[in-house]
Amino acid sequence: MAIEIPSIPLGGWIEGGLDWLTSEYSIVTRGISRVTQTGIDGLNDALMWLPEWGLLAIIVGLCWWVANLRLGIGAALGLALIWNLGLWEPMIETLTLVVIATLVAVVIAIPVGIAAALSERLYKTIMPVLDFMQTMPAFVYLIPAIPFFGIGSVSAIFATVIFSMPPAIRFTTLGIRQVPTDLIEAADAYGATRSQKLIKVQLPMSLPTVMAGINQTIMLALSMVVIAAMIGADGLGSEVWRAIQRLRPGDGFEAGIAVVILAMLLDRVTQSLRKGRKT
Amino acid sequence: MNENRNVKIRVRNLTKVFGNQPKKALEMHKEGMKRPEIFDKTGQTLGLSDINFDVYEGELLVIMGLSGSGKSTLIRCLNRLIEPTEGEIVIDGENIPELSDKALLECRRRHFSMVFQNFALFPHRTVQQNAEFGLEIRGVDKEERSKVARKALEHVGLNGWEDAYPNQLSGGMQQRVGLARALANDSTVLLMDEAFSALDPLIRGDMQQELLELQHRMQKTTVFITHDLDEAINIGDRIILLKDGAIVQIGTPEEILTHPADDYVARFIEGVDMSRILTAQHAMRPVRATAREEDGPRTTLRKMNENGIDSIYVTTRDRKLLGLAEVDAVEQAAKEGKDTIRDYLTQDFRAVGPDEPLHNLFAMFSEKSFPIAVVDDSRKLLGVVVKGAVLDELARAAEPAEVGADESEAGTDTANENIAAAGDA
C-alpha cells in the first residue's frame, strides 16, 4: 500500500486569496466596474448612434487614408457583408470591447515596458510574470473576473486586458533595448539627461517596434473578447456561443467570418500605422 | 612653441581597470606587474595605466594606437562616458572624475562635442535636427538653434541637405553631419573618435584636409583618435602614441618620425613606407635664389635680403654647387672689403642626390637647419628640400593613388605641384 501524500491545497489558497481580494477591495472593483461600464456604454452608443452606412464610410475612409485604396475597398466589402448578415450590432459591441481593452492594456503596458527596459532588476522580475500571463489558458482568467466584476462586459475587459497586455510590454522593452548603444553614447556625450534620452532618442527610435506590440495586443484582445462571451460579454462571441448551444453551424460560421473580417481590418490598419503612411 | 600655450585639459595619473576588483588590480599594478600578469591573476584588465598629458588650447592632438591600445577608452574617460578608476582630468579648473552627475552633464554640454567612428547619427531625425541635437539638449530656443545648426551645416558643405535623413546620405556626408552636430554645439573641446576610419581612403583624405582648414579657422581644441599613423602625421600638431594602455611617446609628428622613443615606435614608423618610397626630388623645391662665386658680398647680401633668407647656396656659372654662404660670413666679407665671397663659403651643409629616400633626410634636419641641397651626379644644384616639405610630402603621399611612383621622372621644379594636384584631386 502506497504512502498517501497529501496533495498541496494550491487551489484552496488561490481561492482564499481571491475571496479575500473580492471582499476587501469590493469598493475598488465596483468603482472600476462602474467606470469601465460607462466607457463601454458610451463608446458603444456613439458607434450605434451613427447610421450603419455612415460608420461604414468613416471606416472605409480611414482605411484608405492610413493604408491604401485597396484596403478601403476591402473594408467596404467586408463591412457590407457583416451588415447584410445582420451582425452589425454584435460587431460594434465586439469592436467597442477591443478598443477599450486595448486602450487600457496599452496605457498600462507602455510605462511598464519602458521601466523594464531601463531597469535590469524590473526586467528580470517582470519577464516570468509575462510568461505566466501569456501561457495561462485564457479561459482561466474568466473565472476570477466574475467575483470581481460580475457577469458581463467589464469582466470581459478585465480578462482581455490581462491576456493581451504582455506583447505590448515585451515589444516596448525590446524596442527601447535595441536602440544601438552608439546612439545612446552619442546622446550621453552631448549631456542628455535620462528623460531627454528617453524622449528624444529611445522612444522615437523604438516606435515601430512598440506599434508592432500594439498590433499584437489588438489581435489577442479580439480573440479574448470573443471567448469572453462565455461570461456574458456581448458581441460576435455571444453569436458564436449561441450557435454552439443550439448546434447551428451556419450561424456559427457567419459570426466567425465577421470576426475574421474585423480582425483583418484591425490588423491591416495598425500595420499601416506602424510602417507610416505611404504616399 | 607649445610650451607657451595655455593648458586646456590636464590629465594626470589616469588609470582605468575593467573588472569588478579594480582596487586589487591597482595594487598589483603599483607593485610593478604588467597587464597580462594582472589579468592572469585577477581577471581584471588594465585598460589604461598612468596616463599623463596636457592638451593645449587650440591644438589638434592626435592619440594614436592600434586596437586594444586603450585609445577609445582614453577619449571616453575625458568626458566620462567611461568612468576612470583613478586619476585627474582637469578642464578649466574642474576635475572631471569628481563631478556630481548633474555637474557632469553640465560639463559635457559646455566642454565636449564628440564625433564618432560610425557617425552615430539619429536615423529618425533630419540632417538639420541632428545638427541641432546638442543645442536642443542644452535648451537653446528653436529659432537660435536652427540658425546655428544651419551655419554649422554650411561650414561642412551640406547646405541644401537640411531636410534629408541620414540614410539618404553617403558615408562621407554622414560624417559631415556628425561634424556639424559637434560644431553647432560650440563646445570648447572637440573629441573625434576614429572619426574618419570608416570612410574610404579618398574621402578620408578630403575630410582630413577639411578638418585642418576648419581647425585652422576656428582654433578649436581637438583630440583626435586614430589607428592610422599616416592620418596622425597628416593632421596632428602633436601625437601621443599609446600601446597596451600606456603612453609610449608624446611629440610633434616630426619628433616622432625622427626620434622614435623605442623599438615599438620605430617599427610603427617603418609602416610609413612612403618615407622610403618617396625621394628627395619629390619634396624638392626650386631654389629661390643662388649666388655666383664671383658675386661680391653686397650683391649677395641684397639677394638674401630680397628673399628673406639668411644663407644662400653658391654655384658656378653652370650651376655647379660650390658651397653655402651664411649671412654672418658674407657680412664679414663686406666689412673686410673683399670683392668676392669665394673664400667665405662653408661646406657644412648636406647635399643629397635626387634619389635619396626622404626617410634619410629626417636625421639630417636634426643636425642642421639649412635646407638640404639636391644635386645631380655632376654636383649641379637641382633644388633644395626644406624641413616642412618632407612632412608635407609624406602626408600627401599617405593618401591613395600612389602618386609618388608615377611622378618619379619629373625631377624638375614642377614635381611638387604635380604631386600636390594629384593629392587634392
More confident residue, B298 or A3: B298
Name the least confident of B69-78, B214-223, B304-313: B304-313
Mean pLDDT of B302-324: 84
Say yes or no: B140 contacts chain A, CB-CB below 8 A: no
Of A103, A66, A121, A113, the C-alpha closest to A210 is A113
Q: What is the mean pLDDT of chain A?
A: 89
- The ipTM (two decimal places) reads 0.75
Topology (CATH level 3) of domain A39-45+88-275: MetI-like fold (1.10.3720)
Q: Give percent of chain A with pLDDT exceeding 70.
A: 98
Mean pLDDT of A173-185: 93
Type of residue at B64 = M
Give residues with Cβ within 8 angstroms of A169, minimum separation 6: A109, A112, A113, A116, A126, A130, A213
User: Do residues A179 and A202 make contact, with C-beta atoms less than 8 angstroms apart?
Assistant: yes
Which of A180, A189, A193 is the closest to B81 by Cβ?
A189
Q: How far apart are CA A145 and CA B294, in angstroms?
A: 116
Structure confidence at residue B403 as a pLDDT band (50, 70, 90): very low
In B19-64 the beta strands, taken as DSSP E runs, fall at: 45-56, 60-64
Note the pLDDT tens digit of each residue in A30-75: 888 888 888 888 998 888 888 888 888 999 998 888 888 888 999 9
pLDDT score at B275: 58
The residue behind cell 467575483 is A147
Name the least confident of B114-123, B190-199, B290-299, B390-399: B390-399
CB neighbours of residue A34 within 10 Å? 11
Indicate if the pLDDT at residue B313 is higher than 80. yes
Indicate if the pLDDT at residue B425 is higher than 70. no
More confident residue, A177 or B228: A177
Of B187, B225, B11, B183, the C-alpha closest to B106 is B187
Task: Give the residue on B whose Cα is nearest the Cα of A193.
Answer: B105
Mean pLDDT of A147-175: 90
Residue-range domain boundaries for chain A: 39-45+88-275
CB neighbours of residue B93 within 10 Å? 6
User: Do residues A209 and A232 make contact, with C-beta atoms less than 8 angstroms apart?
Assistant: no
Q: What is the mean pLDDT of chain B?
A: 82
pLDDT score at B413: 39
pLDDT score at A36: 87
User: Do residues A78 and A265 make contact, with C-beta atoms less than 8 angstroms apart?
Assistant: yes
Which cell goes with A220? 489577442
Q: How far is B134 from chain A (nearest CA, A)?
A: 6
pLDDT score at B412: 38
Indicate if the pLDDT at residue A233 is higher than 70. yes
User: Do residues B19 and B88 make contact, with C-beta atoms less than 8 angstroms apart?
Assistant: no
Mean pLDDT of B17-45: 84
Strand B381-385 relative to strand B372-375, pairing: antiparallel
Residues 93-122 of chain B whose Cβ lies under 8 A from any Cβ of chain A: 105-109, 112-114, 116, 118, 120, 122
Q: How far apart are CA B76 and CA B118, in angstroms?
A: 15
pLDDT score at B277: 54
pLDDT score at B400: 41
Structure confidence at residue B174 as a pLDDT band (50, 70, 90): very high
Note the pLDDT tens digit of each residue in A75-93: 999 999 999 998 999 999 9
* A204: chain B residues, CB-CB within 8 Å: 124
Indicate if the pLDDT at residue B406 is higher than 50. no
Return the exposure string of A58-93: e unless at least 16 CB atoms fall within 10 Å of the residue's CB, then b.
ebbeebbebbeeebbebbbebbeebbebebbbbbbb
Indicate if the pLDDT at residue A132 is higher than 80. yes
* Residue pairs between chains A and B whose CB atoms are closer than 8 Å: 56
Strand B86-91 relative to strand B94-95, pairing: antiparallel
Q: How far apart are CA B190 and CA B60, in angstroms?
A: 9
Indicate if the pLDDT at residue B222 is higher than 90. yes
Mean pLDDT of B291-306: 83
Helix (H, G, I), strand (E, B) or coil at B232: helix
Structure confidence at residue B33 as a pLDDT band (50, 70, 90): confident
Three-class SS of chain A: CCCCCCCCCHHHHHHHHHHHHHHHCHHHHHHHHHHHHHHHHHHHHHHHHCCHHHHHHHHHHHHHHHCCHHHHHHHHHHHHHHHHCCCHHHHHHHHHHHHHHHHHHHHHHHHHHHHHHHCHHHHHHHHHHHHHHHHCCHHHHHHHHHHHHCCCHHHHHHHHHHHHHHHHHHHHHHHHHCCCHHHHHHHHHCCCCHHHHHHHHHHHHHHHHHHHHHHHHHHHHHHHHHHHHHHCCCCHHHHHHHHHHHCCHHHHHHHHHHHHHHHHHHHHHHHHHHHCCCC
pLDDT score at B2: 45
Torsion, CA B116, CA B119, CA B124, CA B127, rounded to 10: 110
pLDDT score at B91: 92
Mean pLDDT of B189-202: 88
Q: How far apart are CA A179 and CA B292, in angstroms?
A: 73
- Most B-contacting residue of A183, A190, A210 (CB-CB within 10 A), to test interface: A190
More confident residue, B289 or B401: B289
Structure confidence at residue B295 as a pLDDT band (50, 70, 90): confident
Residues in chain A: 279
Q: How far is CA B379 from CA B219, B288, B316, B346, B373, in A?
A: 45, 18, 11, 16, 10
pLDDT score at A76: 92
Structure confidence at residue B398 as a pLDDT band (50, 70, 90): low
Angle between helices A249-275 and A69-84 (to 10 degrees): 160
User: Do residues A217 and A233 make contact, with C-beta atoms less than 8 angstroms apart?
Assistant: no
More confident residue, B346 or B282: B346
Residue contact A190–B122, C-beta within 8 A:
no
Residue contact B137–A196, C-beta within 8 A:
yes
pLDDT score at B131: 93
* A191: chain B residues, CB-CB within 8 Å: 105-109, 112, 134, 137-138
Where is B193: in which H helix or E strand?
strand B189-193
- DSSP output for B322-336: EEEEEHHHHHHHHHT
Q: Which domains does chain B have, with CATH numbers?
A: 2-273 (3.40.50.300), 280-424 (3.10.580.10)
Q: Give percent of chain B with pLDDT exceeding 70.
A: 88
* A196: chain B residues, CB-CB within 8 Å: 137
β-partners of residue B18 are B45
Indicate if the pLDDT at residue A254 is higher than 60. yes
Q: How far is A123 from chain B (nearest CA, A)?
A: 23
Say yes or no: A4 contacts chain B, CB-CB below 8 A: no
Residue contact A191–B124, C-beta within 8 A:
no
Name the least confident of A209-213, A225-229, B87-91, B316-320: B316-320
Of A28, A77, A274, A192, the C-alpha closest to B181 is A192
pLDDT score at B396: 63
What are the residue ranges of helices labelled H in B126-251? 127-137, 142-155, 171-184, 201-218, 229-235
Indicate if the pLDDT at residue A115 is higher than 50. yes
Residue contact B137–A182, C-beta within 8 A:
no
pLDDT score at A1: 57
In B254-403 the beta strands, taken as DSSP E runs, fall at: 290-292, 311-315, 321-326, 351-352, 372-375, 381-385
* A198: chain B residues, CB-CB within 8 Å: none
Q: How far apart are CA B117 and CA A17, in angstroms?
A: 57
Mean pLDDT of A158-184: 93
Structure confidence at residue B367 as a pLDDT band (50, 70, 90): low
Say yes or no: A188 contacts chain B, CB-CB below 8 A: yes
Give residues with Cβ within 8 angstroms of B275, minimum separation 6: B257, B269, B357, B358, B359, B362, B394
Structure confidence at residue B103 as a pLDDT band (50, 70, 90): very high
Q: How far is CA B174 from CA A137, A257, B213, in A?
A: 51, 51, 19
Q: How far apart are CA B308 and CA B291, in angstroms?
A: 14
Q: How far apart are CA A201 and CA A184, in angstroms?
A: 8
The residue behind cell 498590433 is A215
Residue contact A205–B122, C-beta within 8 A:
yes
Residue contact A200–B108, C-beta within 8 A:
no
Of B309, B305, B300, B307, the C-alpha closest to B330 is B300
Indicate if the pLDDT at residue A279 is higher than 60. no
Q: How far is CA B219 from CA A32, A153, B208, in A?
A: 65, 70, 15
Mean pLDDT of B127-132: 93
